[in-house]
Amino acid sequence: MDTYVGQQIRLARKQQRMSQEALAKCLGVTFQQVQKYEIGANRVSASKLFEIATALQRPVSYFFEGFANAAERDPTDVERESVTVIQYTAEGRRLAKAFVAAMPDVRKAVVGLLESMK
């Protein structure tokens, strides 16, 4: 859901022709924080979502419209989102670097652990 809401934030921001920097200024956060909201790396609180909705001239409900259908999305969309989170977050980059450096049996164990935590 966080990723979906983030995508909706990005869509609304682009429709308003607003930069991440401009939205960040309205919200009193850094543009990096807006970027993290948009990729779903950081969860948006209810109060912050209200501020975002106000800044982007949308009702709060806009950010959840179509969410039920999102569960039926193409698996490649989910893969693309995963790559985006890894690419644009410090934690993701650290995880990728450590994963690549690990031995194959350790990689398999890490994947198993992470999948069990879903």
Between 72 and 109, where is the model more confident?
Answer: 109
pLDDT of 55-83, one tens digit each?
A: 999 999 888 887 766 555 555 666 666 77
Neighbours of 85 (CB within 10 A): 19
Task: Let me know if 92 is exposed, middle or buried by CB neighbors in 10 A (0-12, 13-18, 19+).
Answer: middle
Alpha carbon distance 117, 19 (integer Å): 35
Of the three residues 51, 68, 85, the one that is the final residue of a domain is: 68
Q: Which CATH number belongs to the domain containing residue 62 in this structure? A: 1.10.260.40
Shared domain check, 55 and 15: yes
pLDDT of 31-44, one tens digit each?
A: 999 999 998 888 89
Shared domain check, 99 and 54: no
Shared domain check, 61 and 11: yes
Shared domain check, 46 and 101: no
Residue-level pLDDT at 2: 80
Shared domain check, 81 and 28: no
Domain interval for residue 109: 73-116
Q: How many domains are contained in the chain?
A: 2
Shared domain check, 100 and 47: no
